[in-house]
Amino acid sequence: MARAISEPSGELLWSLTKVNFGYNGTPVVCDVSLELRRGCCYGILGPNGSGKTTLLDLMGGLLMPHSGMIEFMGRPLHVWPRKQLARQLALVPQDFMVRFGYSVREVVEMGLHPHLHRFAAPSETDQVLVDEALEATGIAALANRPVTRLSGGEKQRVAVARALAQKPAVLLLDEATSNLDIHHSLEILHLIRGRFERQGMQVVAVMHDLNLASFFCDRLIFLKQGQVVCQGPTEEVLTPENIEAVYGVEAEVRSNAFTNSRQVSFRLPLNR
Ligand code: ADP
């Protein structure tokens, strides 16, 4: 049963009403109803296979619900023209695949496409945007390298740079730091949080690491077997009871002055 706690009051970005989706007849997202509003960084969490990526893809318009309704900025998602949607929404996927040997710079430039007229070349201002995205994600030195010759972590940073070059109103991140070491993870999360706080870019992030999510997200949505188990402000939702209900592990949650967020320690239940 979904439990909503102190709803935020910003403009409604997404409204999901009784959304269902499955693959080959197996339900994966089950009766999900959610409202996501401007002014919060949202985190979507849950065990492997709980439907996080599928839910994010539904919110990004990459998949269509089998039943139910998704509205984005007041309009049904399926009626948004693709290019118009791409001006509002950028998605950083979990597995960023570019098969051809485009250079890093060329891939980041692809983020400009939703804003360019057909066949128009990027302007000088656009090139500055690309330079900034390369610098901000720490990959400027790789600009001329073929993306096929990058490590997993470097590719993830290219995917973030391309999304930032897209100048989206909303950024969807699917475990965007899963291949990054802790230094690069924190750098990317600080960068994105900075865009949220200073430029109003809204963020919805599927996250794996509860401690990084606690430090990065204002609100959390916990999924289990395709259903929303609980959602609300991070400090209210990140409790030992919810973590045990969702992940089946015992948890201790403490306020941590060092990170200025709640931090969680885990262990398998002793009575297993
Ligand atoms: P999560 O992101 O929480 O790990 P996913 O949304 O990726 O969960 O997957 C949810 C379930 O759907 C899993 O059981 C997964 O195997 C299945 N699944 C995901 N993508 C596909 C697909 N393209 N075809 C068939 N099954 C899929």
Annotated domain spans of the chain: 12-267
pLDDT digits (tens, 9 = 90+) for 77-99: 999 999 899 999 999 998 877 77
Residues 6+ apart with CB under 8 A from 135: none
Q: At 88, list the tokens.
A: 């509002």
- The Cα 210–Cα 44 span in angstroms is 10
- The Cα 96–Cα 152 span in angstroms is 9
- In one-letter notation, the amino acid at residue 127 is Q
* Overall average pLDDT of the 127-137 stretch: 94
- In one-letter notation, the amino acid at residue 200 is G
- In one-letter notation, the amino acid at residue 239 is T
- Given this model, what pLDDT does residue 4 score? 40
CA 140 to chain centre: 23
117 Cα: distance to centroid of ligand 1 (angstroms):
36
User: What's the helix, strand, coil split of the chain in %, to 5?
Assistant: 35, 30, 35
- Residue 6's H or E segment, with its range, is none
**Which atom, in ligand 1's list, is nearest to the CA of 47?**
3
Q: Which residue's CA lies nearest to atom 15 of ligand 1?
A: 49
pLDDT digits (tens, 9 = 90+) for 145-179: 999 999 989 999 999 999 999 999 999 999 999 88
222 Cα: distance to centroid of ligand 1 (angstroms):
16
Model pTM? 0.93
- Given this model, what pLDDT does residue 270 score? 78
Q: May I ask the CATH architecture of the domain 12-267?
A: 3-Layer(aba) Sandwich (3.40)
